[in-house]
Amino acid sequence: MLTVIGAGFPRTGTSSMKAALERLGFGPCFHMFNILTEPARVDDWLPLAEGGEVDWGKLFDGFRSTQDWPASFFWRELARAYPEAKVVLTVRDPRAWYASMMTLIETGPRTIMAQGAERDLPPAARAVFDGMRRLQPVLNRMTSATFGPGRTMADGPVDEDSAVAAFEQHAATVKAGLPAERLLVFDVREGWEPLCRFLGVDVPGEPFPHLNDGKSMQEFLGRLMSGDASHPSFTTSGD
């Protein structure tokens, strides 16, 4: 059963949060990497593309927390489904977030997927990219709702000002949609103290896991192209 729900956009320290929540005893934590490494999970998400219903208990069976899209897009539905769960909205400087997203778009899965039909991909890589293609209707729903009606992943990057406005609007919507005692607005640079206080657990005697979402993705993609679709080990960075 979920006890912590992530509501932040991708590239807001979601890898760090996954590691932190699991260190604090709120794991396993569901992250986009769980879909990338287990493409069969895509089928469970497909009803959401058209606004259909899903069994959240089945979708997150075995998990105690969530981070990253697609889960964080459905923070409102998850907050209703798990009324005792606490919600963490991860944030960062909006323009730094946009720059990070552009790096992901330029070097991430979508670029490789565009080459997929032309490359002799290892079976593990083919399964992952096929899964991501099947997930596109869900991602398109999320993109349209976040960045403008009718917009899809195929439309390419949103301009910086529009993306920043969407980022800020999302944060405002989450803050307005939940009681203050149930929500933590959190920048991972703040470290353990506010997170542990919010979750009611002791502060670990070790540094907060500052990981790099982008480098973790690049590590995963690099291994994937050689046929290894195992979960990334996550990469430490000051970013």
pLDDT tens digits, 168-222: 999 999 999 999 999 999 999 999 999 999 999 999 999 999 886 666 666 766 6
- The full set of domain ranges for the chain reads 4-226
Predicted confidence (pLDDT) at residue 239 exceeds the cutoff of 50: no
* CA distance linking residue 145 with residue 76, whole number of Å: 13
Residue 5 forms beta bridges with which residues?
Answer: 87
Average pLDDT, the chain: 87
Q: Which residues contact 144 (CB under 8 A, 6 or more apart)?
A: 150, 151, 152
Confidence of residue 102 (pLDDT cuts 50, 70, 90): confident
Could you give the CA distance from residue 5 to residue 211 in angstroms, rounded to a whole number? 19
Tokens for 63, please give them: 């998990």
Q: Decide which of 50 and 195 is more confident.
A: 195
Higher per-residue confidence, 120 vs 159: 159
* Whether the predicted model's global pTM rises above the 0.85 cut: yes
Pick one of 3.40.50.170, 3.40.50.300, 3.40.109.10, 3.40.50.12780 as the CATH number of 4-226.
3.40.50.300
Q: Helices (DSSP H) in the chain: which residue ranges?
A: 14-23, 32-37, 42-45, 56-59, 75-81, 94-107, 109-115, 123-147, 160-177, 192-199, 213-224
